[in-house]
């Protein structure tokens, strides 16, 4: 009986982990696209409210660890220019 309960718990945990990994991949793609967009924006051509939104996005993306940001850029096949 205990073994059946552990197997069920393990299956539940495995399913949850798989969902979290898929969600992470989706969030990495979003972050990678956001980083690419920020890199390409010419703020001189944008209204101030759009510049403020882009600045908030850039600030948030810059808070990612270097490893996570690199994973995000890799997920959209981009690269950080040195």
Tens of pLDDT, residues 3-41 = 898 999 999 999 999 999 999 999 999 999 999 999 889
Q: How much is the pLDDT for 74?
A: 93
Distance CA 17, CA 10 (A): 10
Distance CA 14, CA 43 (A): 45
Strands (E), the chain: none
Q: Which two tokens stand for residue 9?
A: 């718990």
Q: How confident is the model at residue 80 (pLDDT cuts 50, 70, 90)?
A: low
DSSP single-letter state for residue 82: -
Please say if the pLDDT value at position 43 is more than 90: no
Q: How much is the pLDDT for 81?
A: 57
Q: Where are the domains of the chain?
A: 2-75
Distance CA 3, CA 72 (A): 39
């Amino acid at each position: 009986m205990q073994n059946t309960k552990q197997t069920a718990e393990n299956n539940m945990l495995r399913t949850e982990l798989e969902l979290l990994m898929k969600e992470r991949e989706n969030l990495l793609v979003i972050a990678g696209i956001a980083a690419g967009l920020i890199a390409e924006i010419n703020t001189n051509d944008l209204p101030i409210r759009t510049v403020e939104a882009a600045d908030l996005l850039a600030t948030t993306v810059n808070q990612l660890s270097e490893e996570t940001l690199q994973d995000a850029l890799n997920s959209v096949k981009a690269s950080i220019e040195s």
